[in-house]
Amino acid sequence: MTYEPPITDYDYIVENCTCAFCGCNCDDLDYLVKDGHVVAVRHACRLGASKIMEDMDQRLLVPMIRDENGELMEVDWDTALDKAAEYIANSIRPVFYGWSETSTECMKEGLALGEYIGAVLDNQATICHGPSLQAVQNAGYPIQTLGEVQNRADMIAYSGSNAMNSHPRHMARYAVFCRGYFRQRGRFDRTVVTMDPKFSDTAKCSDKWIGFEQNGDYGFYNAIRAVLRGKELYQDVISGIPKEDIYELAEEMKNAEFGVLFFGLGLTHTLSKQRNIDIAIKMVQDLNKYSKWGLTPMRGHFNVNGFNIFMAFETGFAFGVDFARGTTRYMMGETNTIDLLVRKEPDCFMVIAADPGAHFPNGANQHLADIPVIQIDIHWGPSTELADVVLPGSFIGVECDGTSYRMDGVPIYMKKAIDKPETCRDDEWIVRELKERVMKLREEPNVAPKYVPNSNLDLAM
């Protein structure tokens, strides 16, 4: 890394802004603003700083519609919104996907539209921490806020997560290097263990690296559980780890005063998927018999947790919620975006603040190429190439304000620091406009004439 001189040429500073990158939602950022642009960011990591500073890189600035020749043509806002509303109003199985990089205020509008028209609302959890949510539904969810980790934790384990690269300030601000009330010497007061087949950058700065073999996660955690429950291990090597090491690690974990397991997609997306998380959760539950342990999924986008929380309090389900029949319905493997697309069910797809073009499996993207796709985003991406209508939004936490939820569920108000480009609109405004236009085009389908309570409630009525 070469030395970069500090930026001195700026008009003013906006303090305590919130980073709109990963699930750490660092809220201590200072933006240095010149001529209406952020020219430097203090306190942020490289990922966050570059996202904020290079906000004009490949920026979508004007609404576009794909014409009959397959070219995206610039149009005015009214035309673009009308076209998008028409696609939604004429569909019978619309899917609204994304939401993890926008505010809960915007989600509120999207949910109202989805409930009205009978759409499926889903977010990136369906392709990232979905297995974690499934496991939480199987086994429980012993978590803690990040400040609790900072103040108390003396043992930190990262599993299937390379925090150093994916959440660069996680270790510095919340978990490892920072001083805590009961951990005054910061890093020296903590034992850091990385459990990962890869000798990652996180492993490099850990005290211990457990390099179990690929897809060996389940066997490894199962072995630790067995040891915690006083069982003897019969195999000498489990998941590539000698059993002596497992005994030693289990003993260390039992003796920690406060331990936390942070896990990432390396754990959710190997062979046993949600079962890996199941067993990790159960291990943490077992550990609480001896000391205090918790875990936290390393959520990727800054508001991916927010969508799950938002949907849970609005509808009772966290993601993949289907309103097609006028009821709320959630069924893993049935009402999730990838499953729907692979079955070629959707006939209209709205993607907001996400990039399925880059992240979805080929089969799903093939269907996206066949149906109308509406994109609301701030940057060009592969999804733009799939889109039939492009609606340029604005940057939450920089150009407009909104609420997000950190990976541990702490709500953060992200304030506005600079003005958005004149031709762009706030996500919330765009979705509200779409809602109002769709409501004019089509009457609400699947409305029951009268409220009928669910018989499971066993009400005396």
Partner 1 sequence: MMEYILKNGIVYDPANGINGEKKDVMFKDDIIVDEVSADAKVIDVTDKIVMPAGVDPHAHVAGPKLVVGRLYRPEDSRMGVSQKTKVLRSESGFSIPSCPTTGYRYSRMGYGTVVEAAMPPLEAKHTHEEIATIPNIDIPALPLFGNNWFVMEYAKDKNIEDLAAFISSWLKISKGYGVKIVNPCGSEAWGWGMNVHGYDDKAPYFDVTSREVVMALAEANEMLGLPHSIHIHPNDLGHPGNVPTTLETLDSVKNIKKSSKATIRDQVMHVTHLQFHSYTGNSWKDAGSGAVEVADYINKHDHITCDVGQVTFDETTTMTADAPMEYDLFKLSGLKWTNKDIECETAAGIIPCIYSKKSPVSTLQWGIGLELFLLINDPWKVCLTTDHPNAGPFMRYPRIISWLMSNEKRQDMCENEVHKWIYKRTTLPTIEREYDFYEIATITRAAPAKIYGFEDRGALTPGYKADIAVYDINPNDIDPSKQALDIEKGFTVADYTIKDGQILVKDKEIVKVKESQNIWVNVKGWERQEQKVIDNIMPFFTQYYSVKWENYPVQDHYVSNPIRVDVEK
240 or 409: CB nearest partner 1: 409
Of residues 55 through 74, those in contact with partner 1 by CB under 8 A are none
* Nearest distance from C-beta of residue 266 to partner 1, angstroms: 22
Helices (H), 10-76: 46-53
316 binds partner 1 (CB under 8 A): yes
Sign of CA dihedral 87, 91, 95, 96: positive
404 binds partner 1 (CB under 8 A): no
Across-strand partners of 73? 65
* Amino acid in position 303: N
448 binds partner 1 (CB under 8 A): yes
Rule CB under 8 A: choose which of 93, 208, 254, 329 binds partner 1: 329
166 or 335: CB nearest partner 1: 335
1 or 452: CB nearest partner 1: 452
Cα atoms found within 13 Å of the Cα of residue 88, Cβ hemisphere only: 35
181 or 234: CB nearest partner 1: 181
Rule CB under 8 A: choose which of 214, 235, 327, 423 binds partner 1: 327
Give the DSSP H or E segment for 374: strand 373-377
Of residues 116 through 145, those in contact with partner 1 by CB under 8 A are 133, 136-145
How many residues bind partner 1, per CB under 8 A?
76
3 or 451: CB nearest partner 1: 451
Nearest to 374 by CA among 167, 69, 165, 89: 89
81 or 178: CB nearest partner 1: 178
217 or 322: CB nearest partner 1: 322
Residues 6+ apart with CB under 8 A from 38: 31, 32, 52, 53, 55, 398, 417, 418
442 binds partner 1 (CB under 8 A): no
Rule CB under 8 A: choose which of 7, 46, 182, 231 binds partner 1: 182
Of residues 14 through 53, those in contact with partner 1 by CB under 8 A are 15-16, 18, 27-28
279 binds partner 1 (CB under 8 A): no
443 binds partner 1 (CB under 8 A): no
Residues 6+ apart with CB under 8 A from 438: 85, 88, 89, 113, 116, 117
In the chain the first and final C-alpha atoms are separated, in Å, by 71
Residues 6+ apart with CB under 8 A from 87: 348, 372, 374, 388, 389
| Dihedrals phi, psi of 287, to nearest 5 degrees | -60, -30
92 binds partner 1 (CB under 8 A): no
Nearest to 131 by CA among 270, 237, 36, 15: 270
Give the DSSP H or E segment for 321: strand 321-322
Pairing between β-strand 389-392 and β-strand 373-377 as defined by DSSP bridges:
parallel
In the numeric block, which tokens belong to residue 295?
A: 């875990």
What is the three-class DSSP state of 275?
helix
Q: Give the Cα-Cα-Cα angle 181, 182, 186 (nearest 5 degrees).
A: 80
Of residues 253 through 272, those in contact with partner 1 by CB under 8 A are 257-258
Rule CB under 8 A: choose which of 226, 312, 418, 439 binds partner 1: 312
**CA quadruple 224, 173, 268, 386: dihedral, nearest 10:** -170
189 or 314: CB nearest partner 1: 314
12 binds partner 1 (CB under 8 A): no
Of residues 162 through 181, those in contact with partner 1 by CB under 8 A are 173-174, 179-181
Rule CB under 8 A: choose which of 99, 262, 302, 405 binds partner 1: 405
294 binds partner 1 (CB under 8 A): yes
Rule CB under 8 A: choose which of 14, 62, 147, 380 binds partner 1: 147
* Nearest distance from C-beta of residue 371 to partner 1, angstroms: 25
48 or 381: CB nearest partner 1: 48
Count of other CB atoms within 10 angstroms of residue 357 = 19
- DSSP per residue, 210-264: E-PPTT-HHHHHHHHHHHHTTPPP-SSEETTEEHHHHHHHHHHHHH-SEEEEEE-
204 or 325: CB nearest partner 1: 325
1 binds partner 1 (CB under 8 A): no
Rule CB under 8 A: choose which of 314, 334, 345, 347 binds partner 1: 314
What value does the CA radius of gyration of the chain take, rounded to a whole number of Å? Answer: 24
315 binds partner 1 (CB under 8 A): yes
199 binds partner 1 (CB under 8 A): no
In the numeric block, which tokens belong to residue 94?
A: 């619309």
